[in-house]
Amino acid sequence: MSSDNTQDSVSSATRSYLIMKAESKEALKLAEEWWSEKEIPSYVKISTLNMDDIEEFVDLYNRCFLASPDPFCPLTSEEALKLDTEGIFIAKLAGKMAGFIACFVEKKTESIYGEITGIGVLPNRRRKGVATALIKRATQYFLDSGAEEVYCEVYEENIPSQMLIMTYGFKEAGRREVPLQPSSTSKSGFDLPGGKIMRRLGLRPRTGCETCRDI
């Protein structure tokens, strides 16, 4: 999780994801404070994703990202069935899915850290604290898993997402450049556009694809 790229070295043929980092405890505290200051609808319920609800999740994921500046490749039911649902939390309003957050805990030899690999809220449910509720649940999950630090990547043009996570103590720790035209020879997937949830599934936004966007 380091970066040696400066703004000057970013070529016009690339775009960047900002690598953002926060202390899990700090993010949880800030998310809790938001809740104590605001009236959050008591019918916002957070639960883990159940595979029986995968069709509703696919619809939710695609609707969230259609209304986002991020490079995007729609999720299909087939791909969603490959997801490990551990760490994927759903926000429901009145029994219907309104948002999700996908979390992974990376255990390395010398460190353990959390990653938010995707977050989205339906356009008509935004600015009501749904993402805050999901971040609150995610940071609790990271702390329970022993991850004191949490990372996420935010597309440089995604200002709402940057505003959201900066509210919860995330600061820029590096950048990941992606080529405008992803290489078909990429093995690691590191240079692919798209958040990690997409990269883990091998979903590649690509030029000329009718269903992909913004690449």
Ligand X SMILES: CC(C)(COP(=O)(O)OP(=O)(O)OC[C@H]1O[C@@H](n2cnc3c(N)ncnc32)[C@H](O)[C@@H]1OP(=O)(O)O)[C@@H](O)C(=O)NCCC(=O)NCCS
Spell out, one character per residue from 10 to 49, where the chain touches ligand X: x when CB under 6 A holds, - when not.
----------------------------------------
> Strand (E) positions, the chain?
14-23, 44-48, 88-93, 96-107, 112-121, 149-155, 171-179
Considering only 27, 30, 46, 64, the residue that binds ligand X (CB under 6 A) is 64
Q: Is 209 helix (H, G, I), strand (E, B) or coil?
A: coil
Q: Is 115 in the site for ligand X (CB under 6 A)?
A: no
Considering only 18, 28, 44, 68, the residue that binds ligand X (CB under 6 A) is 68
Whether 179 and 13 have beta carbons less than 8 Å apart is answered as yes
Q: Which two tokens stand for residue 204?
A: 């590649």
12 vs 124 by CB, closer to ligand X: 124
Contacts of 167 (CB under 8 A, 6+ apart): 30, 34, 132
Stretch that binds ligand X, among 8-16, 40-48, 126-134, 205-213 (CB under 6 A): 126-134
Q: Is 107 helix (H, G, I), strand (E, B) or coil?
A: strand
91 vs 147 by CB, closer to ligand X: 91
Q: Is 161 in the site for ligand X (CB under 6 A)?
A: yes
* Secondary structure letter of residue 127 according to DSSP: T
Per CB under 6 A, residues contacting ligand X are: 64-65, 67-68, 70, 118-121, 126-132, 158, 160-161, 163-164, 167, 195
